[in-house]
């Protein structure tokens, strides 16, 4: 250990001396300087006079948005593909296999460029595809309704939903009977819905409707929220690519359920639906959570491909900041620490869920 410490200290000293010889300053003081440059998309309001600190925070938020959307849709696709792959219908199973082998073996960066070329060539706003006159798809992006509530209220709603979903596995293992769990679960969902509606009502922006629906005004849409083509293409690419891997994870989990437990369900008169929802799916979820954690971390790291389509994610912001400020080592350190914290947080949440829903077994002592 002492030899490693000496080597690291020597590397730091040599680096500082080399930078000083080239009249390059070190440190994080540049974070308070104004950037003076703009980018295409931001989750929160942004101005070119904002500091590097705020710009980096925006990059992190953009990456989290892309990662959460990509992981969410990849999970939905993966569940469907996993079910299709385990189907006894040969056609469904074959189509699932074709999907997995296609999207898993094409590089993700190539898929991102492909989908971006399609999304960016959609019709202009005046000829946009309408989705029930509340959402519109055009070459400038996807326009969808958005609630007219404050960021704080939206955060409280998401927090309440996350806390309730986090508590459900604990309630199921702690309550003495399943009927009591079902009753509390129903009451909990009703209470959660009521609390979310109350928060939305209190946190609504004054003198505005609850939802801001986009409408065509001139050559573009006004109102709602816009999902730019870069973000749309990346979400599609990550969802389809990740769905292929998650589908295989789900398939392995479903196939790992012992046949004897399924036959026991048939013996007790359970239907195919109840056998799947009460036996196969719960046991499969417990089996696949560790592998899903790895896939989620990989998909979050895959968000760095946003650079190829010009999406202002964390990696893009750091790269641009390096070119503008010259603070290479500091910004690379921020990039590495940022992704380390994000991925460790994903692993912590997934491992916590895994521990809460794990079946308590018996320890065999020698």
Residue among 121, 79, 77 at smallest CA distance from 103: 77
| 151-185 residues labelled b (16+ CB within 10 A) or e (exposed) | eebeebbeeeeeebeeeebeebeeeeeeeebeeee
Long-range pairs, 188-195, Cβ under 8 A, ≥24: 188/164, 189/164, 192/160, 192/161, 192/164, 195/160
Tell me the mean pLDDT in the region 314-321. Answer: 90
> Residues 113, 307: contact at Cβ < 8 Å?
no
- Give residue-wise pLDDT tens across range 68-110: 999 999 999 999 999 899 888 888 889 999 999 999 999 999 9
- Give residue-wise pLDDT tens across range 245-282: 999 999 988 888 888 888 888 888 778 778 877 788 88
In this prediction, residue 364 has a pLDDT band, given cuts at 50, 70 and 90, of very low
Pick the CATH number of 27-121+228-357 from 3.50.50.60, 3.40.50.970, 3.40.50.720, 1.10.3720.10: 1.10.3720.10
Q: Where are the domains of the chain?
A: 27-121+228-357
Cross-strand bridge partners of residue 175: none
pLDDT on residue 11: 63
- φ/ψ region of 188 (left if φ > 0, alpha if ψ in -120 to 50, else beta) reads alpha
* Cα 222 to Cα 225: distance, rounded to the nearest angstrom: 9
pLDDT on residue 356: 74
* Cα 352 to Cα 22: distance, rounded to the nearest angstrom: 49
Find tokens 């020597």 and name the residue: 10
pLDDT on residue 8: 63
* Cα 94 to Cα 56: distance, rounded to the nearest angstrom: 45
How high does pLDDT run on average in the chain? 83
Q: Pick the residue with more confidence: 102 or 147? A: 102
- Give residue-wise pLDDT tens across range 189-208: 888 888 888 888 888 877 77
> Residues 233, 110: contact at Cβ < 8 Å?
no
pLDDT on residue 19: 56
pLDDT on residue 116: 92
- pTM equals 0.82
- Give residue-wise pLDDT tens across range 2-51: 676 667 676 656 656 655 555 556 677 778 888 888 888 888 888 888 88
Tell me the mean pLDDT in the region 233-240. Answer: 94
In angstroms, the Cα distances linking 163 to 149, 358, 363 are 21, 19, 31
Render 242-260 in DSSP notation, one character per residue.
HHHHHHHHHHHHHHTS-HH
- Give residue-wise pLDDT tens across range 279-312: 888 888 888 888 899 999 999 999 999 889 889 8
- Give residue-wise pLDDT tens across range 333-353: 999 999 999 999 999 988 888
**Structure-token pair, residue 25:** 């300053």
- Give residue-wise pLDDT tens across range 179-191: 777 788 888 888 8
Render 313-355 in DSSP notation, one character per residue.
-HHHHHHHHHHHH--HHHHHHHHHHHHHHHHHHHHHHHHHHHH
Q: Quick one: what percent of the chain has pLDDT higher than 70?
A: 89
pLDDT on residue 335: 92
Render 82-131 in DSSP notation, one character per residue.
HHHHT-S-HHHHHHHHHHHHHHHSS-HHHHHHHHHHHHTTSPPGGGPEEE
Residue among 332, 315, 269, 335 at smallest CA distance from 109: 315
């Amino acid at each position: 250990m002492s030899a490693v410490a000496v080597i690291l200290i020597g590397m730091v000293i040599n680096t500082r001396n080399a930078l000083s010889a080239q009249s390059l300053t070190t440190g994080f003081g540049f974070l308070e300087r104004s950037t003076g440059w703009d980018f295409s998309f931001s989750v929160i309001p942004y101005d070119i006079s904002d500091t590097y600190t705020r710009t980096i925070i925006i990059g992190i938020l953009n990456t989290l948005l892309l990662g959460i959307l990509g992981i969410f849709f990849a999970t939905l696709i993966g569940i469907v593909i996993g079910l299709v792959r385990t189907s006894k219908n040969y056609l469904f199973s074959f189509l699932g296999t074709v999907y997995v082998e296609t999207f898993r073996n094409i590089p993700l960066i190539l898929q991102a460029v492909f989908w971006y070329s399609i999304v960016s060539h959609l019709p202009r706003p005046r000829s946009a595809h309408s989705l029930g006159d509340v959402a519109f798809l055009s070459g400038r992006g996807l326009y969808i309704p958005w609630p007219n509530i404050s960021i704080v209220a939206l955060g409280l709603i998401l927090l309440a939903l996350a806390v309730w979903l986090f508590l459900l596995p604990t309630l199921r293992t702690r309550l003495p009977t399943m009927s009591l769990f079902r009753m509390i679960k129903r009451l909990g969902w009703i209470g959660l819905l009521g609390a979310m509606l109350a928060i939305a009502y209190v946190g609504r922006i004054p003198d505005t409707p609850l939802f801001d629906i986009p409408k065509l005004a001139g050559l573009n849409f006004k109102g709602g929220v816009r999902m730019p083509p870069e973000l749309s293409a990346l979400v599609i690419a990550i969802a389809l690519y990740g769905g292929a891997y998650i589908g295989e994870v789900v398939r392995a989990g479903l196939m790992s359920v012992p046949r004897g437990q399924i036959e026991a369900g048939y013996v007790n008169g359970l239907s195919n639906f109840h056998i799947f929802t009460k036996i196969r799916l719960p046991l499969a979820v417990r089996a696949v959570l560790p592998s899903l954690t790895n896939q989620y971390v990989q998909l979050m790291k895959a968000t760095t491909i946003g650079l190829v389509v010009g999406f202002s994610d964390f990696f893009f912001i750091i790269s641009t900041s390096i070119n503008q400020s010259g603070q290479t080592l500091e910004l690379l350190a921020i990039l590495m620490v940022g992704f380390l914290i994000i991925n460790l947080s994903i692993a912590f949440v997934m491992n916590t869920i895994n521990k809460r829903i794990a079946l308590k077994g018996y320890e065999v002592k020698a």
